Amino acid sequence: MSNPAVVAEIGPLVVRSAPIEDPGELLALLPPEDSLAWVHGGDGLVGWGRAAELRTSGSERFAESSEWWSELARHAVVRDDVDVPGSGLVAFGSFAFTDDAEGSALVVPEVVVGRRDGVAWVTVIGLGITSLPDIRPTGAPQEPIGTAFADGPVDSLTWQGLVAEAVRRIEAGSLDKVVLARDLVATVDVPLDVRAPLARLAGHYPSCWTFHVDGFFGSTPEMLIRLERGLVTSRVLAGTIRRTGDDTHDLALAGSLARSSKDLEEHEYAVRSVADALAPHCTSMNVPEAPFVLHLPNVMHLATDVTGVMRDEASALTLAASLHPSAAVGGTPTAEAIALIQEIEKLARGRYAGPVGWIGASGDGEWGIGLRSAQVEGDGRTVRLFAGCGIVADSVPADELAESNAKLIPVRDALTPQT
C-alpha cells in the first residue's frame, strides 16, 4: 500500500557548481536551520535550504522517489565546472525502515558545499540563475543543555525477554536470524542544535559516515551502497564486540570475534543477503571468503566489502531499495524476520536502519544504513536514540543488551553536555 507522495518544487531547476578554496571543516558551515550533512573523514557534502523536496511513504516509496528524481534531473539545467561525484544536482535523503512508517524524503538543497580528494566546490540550486554565496563558518553551535536519558517504551529487562523469545523462535526453526532494536529517550532543556552532536560524532568517528536529514542524525559505520561510474561497493557489518580501551586486551578480543561461530554465522547471513541482491545488477562481483575486523572507538565489527561491476543502468537509490532490508538490519529469511520484528519488537523504528545518504543527477551516490542514529522529535527537546542486535540461536540476552548499550554510546556521548 502506498500513500500519495508530497512534492514541493516548481519548474525546472537551475544548477551551478564551481570550485572554491578549501572551506575548512564542512560541518562548521551549516546554519542552525534546514541543514543537511553527509561527511566521512573530513570530506563529503553539506547543504542547506530547500530548492525541492519529495515526501513519501508506503511500499512504493523507493519507486516513487526514483521516478521523481529522474524527472527532476532530466529537466534541470546544469552547469558543472567541477565534475566530481557530488557536484552538480544532488539530493539528500532518508527512508523509513518499514512500509507503514512515515518520514521518507528526498531533499534538494539551495546550497551544497563539497570536498573530495583535495577538491572543494559550491553548488547553488534554484529556479533561476543565482550568484555564488560567501562560504564561511557560521559560528559555534549551542551545546545540549540538561540532557537526561530514560528507557523507551520497552525497558532493559523486558527487551532481554524479547531476545529470549526470538532465540526460542529460531531454535524452533521459524527463521535463522532476526535483528531486534531498542531505543533510549533523551530530553534536553532547550531545542537541540543538531550541529553540536554532528560535530562531535564526526570528530570521534571519522571512519564512519556522519549524516543529518530532517532531524535524523548519526554516524553510521555501514555503507549500504556506493555507486560511482559503474562500480558498486557495499560494506556489510554483522558481529560485534565492545572495546575495553586496553589495546592488548582489544587485540585478543578482535581475535576471538574473528573466530566466534555465533558472530561468523550472523555475518554470513548478512553478506549472503547483500551478494544475492546485487548479483542481478552486476556482470562480476568480488565477495571475500572471510571478513576483517573493523576497529571503531567503541566497538569492533566483523566486516566484509562486497564489490561489483554494474551490468544495467540502476541508480544508487534503486540498488539501495533492492538491498533494503539486508540481513544485517532485518534478518534471515527476510519476510519471516520482518514479521517477527513487527510482532514482538514493540518499537516504532521510523528511519532507524533505513537507507540514508545522497544521490546525484547521473544516478551515482552513496547510501548508508541509518545506524548509531537518533531522531529529533516534537519541539526539538526530545531525541530518540536507537540500537539493534542480530539475534541467532546462540545469542544470550544479557550479552545482546550489553552490545546494544555499546552501540548507543556514540550518540549518547554526542548529546552529553561537555564540561
Across the strands, what pairs with 233?
226, 307
Amino acid making up residue 268: E
Distance CA 295, CA 140 (A): 30
Q: Which of 25, 67, 71, 222 is catalytic?
A: 222
pLDDT band at 1 (very low <50, low <70, confident <90, very high): very low
pLDDT of residue 5: 62
Residues contacting 414, CB < 8 A, separation 6+? 196, 197, 198, 200, 201, 204
- 262 included as an active-site residue: no
Residue range 302-333, pLDDT digits in tens: 999 999 999 999 999 999 999 999 888 999 99
Distance CA 399, CA 394 (A): 11
Distance CA 152, CA 137 (A): 36
Which CATH architecture is the domain 2-415 placed in?
4-Layer Sandwich (3.60)
pLDDT of residue 129: 77
- 407 included as an active-site residue: no
Locate 184 and state its grid cell: 533510549
CA nearest 285: which of 269, 267, 271? 271
Q: Which of 9, 25, 71, 177 is catalytic?
A: 177
- Mean pLDDT score, 391-415: 95
8 Å CB contact between 377 and 384 = yes
pLDDT of residue 72: 96
- Sign for the CA dihedral angle at 265, 253, 302, 161 comes to positive
Determine the angle formed by the axes of helices 316-323 and 261-278, rounding to 10 degrees. 130
Locus of grid cell 531522531: 375
State yes or no: pLDDT of 125 exceeds 50. yes
Across the strands, what pairs with 178?
331, 391
Residue range 346-376, pLDDT digits in tens: 999 999 999 999 999 999 999 999 999 999 9
State yes or no: pLDDT of 418 exceeds 80. no
pLDDT of residue 42: 94
8 Å CB contact between 114 and 39 = no
Where in the chain are the domains? 2-415
- Mean pLDDT score, 340-345: 96
Residue range 34-69, pLDDT digits in tens: 999 999 999 999 999 999 999 999 999 999 999 999
What's the mean pLDDT when you consider all of the chain? 94
Note the residue count of the chain: 419
State yes or no: pLDDT of 10 exceeds 80. no
